[in-house]
């Protein structure tokens, strides 16, 4: 997948002039998610093209958070309204990347990465295989990374606790077929 000059320009305009600690944390998180997701994707035998799409989708999955006030990410307790605002980030990222004609399949990762296998996710409540495979992979990697590193408002877990949490959410939050591969690969 060739990255257009418009994409590179957009990313630089979004991050370089006003880089904050929170934005560097989002980018670091995205690189960790990408690494986990690519290992799983390779284990599943995804094509080189699908791995490239997975890579870009994972790197940019939280880009919508750059549009939100940094104060949301500094809090140790989130109000209901704060949580509603943070839940807007997939749509905000989608809108920004759609404007530069970003790859459609990578764009789906950005938009759908908080959907759940049981249909209780957001922003659309997609269920099961309605969620594209690369998105289901990114979602699993994203959740695992968050469990390991924690957030201001969420304590981190040990490696084994995170694996146990992934297994416990098989079929609800996560695709059960992917969970089997994930546990075999990372367990």
* Percent with pLDDT over 70 in the chain: 86
Question: So what's the pLDDT on residue 21?
Answer: 47
Task: Specify the higher pLDDT residue, 1 or 73.
Answer: 73
Residue 33 has pLDDT above 70, yes or no: yes
What pLDDT digit, counting tens, does each position of 94-131 carry?
998 888 878 899 999 999 999 999 999 999 999 999 99
Structure tokens that stand for 155 in this block: 């304590």
**For residue 26, what are the contacts with CB-CB under 8 A and spacing of at least 6?**
62, 65, 66
Would you state the pLDDT for residue 38? 97
Question: Which residues is 154 bridged to in the sheet?
Answer: 151
Give strand pairing partners of 151.
Answer: 154
Q: Please, what are the domains in the chain?
A: 5-186 (1.10.3210.10)
With a CB cutoff of 8 Å and minimum separation 6, the contacts of 124 are 112, 115
- What average pLDDT does the segment 50-65 reach? 93
pLDDT category of residue 67 using cuts at 50, 70 and 90: confident
DSSP 4: P
What rounded mean pLDDT belongs to the chain? 87
Range of lowest pLDDT (16-20, 89-93, 107-111, 174-178): 16-20
Residue 13 confidence (pLDDT): 52
Alpha-carbon span 41 to 64, nearest angstrom: 24
| pTM confidence score | 0.87
Confidence of residue 17 (pLDDT cuts 50, 70, 90): very low
């Amino acid at each position: 997948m060739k990255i257009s000059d418009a994409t590179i320009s957009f990313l630089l305009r979004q991050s370089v002039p006003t880089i904050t600690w929170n934005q560097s944390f989002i980018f670091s998180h995205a690189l960790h998610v990408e690494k986990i997701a690519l290992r799983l994707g390779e284990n599943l035998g995804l094509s080189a093209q699908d791995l490239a799409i997975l890579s870009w989708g994972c790197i940019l999955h939280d880009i919508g958070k750059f549009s939100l006030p940094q104060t949301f990410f500094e809090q140790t307790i989130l109000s209901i309204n704060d949580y509603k605002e943070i839940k807007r980030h997939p749509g905000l990222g989608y809108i920004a990347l759609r404007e530069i004609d970003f790859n459609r399949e990578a764009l789906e990762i950005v938009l759908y990465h908080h959907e759940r296998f049981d249909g209780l996710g957001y922003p659309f409540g997609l269920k099961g295989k309605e969620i594209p495979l690369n998105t289901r992979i990114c979602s699993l990697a994203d959740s695992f990374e968050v469990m390991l590193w924690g957030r201001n408002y969420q304590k981190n877990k040990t490696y084994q606790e995170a694996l146990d949490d992934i297994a416990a959410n098989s079929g609800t939050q996560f695709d059960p077929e992917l969970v089997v591969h994930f546990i075999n690969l990372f367990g």
